[in-house]
Amino acid sequence: MFEEVADDIFRRILVPVNDVLKKAELSTSDVDDIVLVGGSTRIPRVRQLLGDLFNMIPNTSIEPELAVAIGTALHAAVIADSWPLPVAAIEKPFAQ
């Protein structure tokens, strides 16, 4: 029922995705993998919409919140002019 009531909201995620593809002059077939990050990617309808758009199963192997935190840290390093980071600093959070 949640997904049915909120379907118009979920469909809004396709707008920025299509905008990025257009600005990058890419088609959905140019994309090799979809890596979902952020808490809303845990919603099955979000996964389904993106999977349908790109005609593939989205990659959910990365912890969504961890990916956001690491991306934020990397962006902060770039802003702080601490880039490039040593490879070990980037790989360590993903080590099993």
pLDDT per position as a tens digit, 5-16: 989 998 999 999
Predicted confidence band of residue 78 (pLDDT cuts 50, 70, 90): confident
Residue type, 62: I
Position 63 scores a pLDDT of 85
Per-residue pLDDT at 95 exceeds 70: no
Q: Residue 86 pLDDT > 70, yes or no?
A: no
pLDDT digits 0-9 by tens, 23-77 = 999 999 999 999 888 888 888 999 999 999 999 999 888 888 888 888 888 888 8
pTM check: above 0.75: no
| Phi, psi dihedrals of residue 31, rounded to the nearest 5° | -90, 125
- CA dihedral sign of residues 51, 53, 56, 62: negative
- Find the helix packing angle between 14-23 and 44-54, rounded to 10°: 30
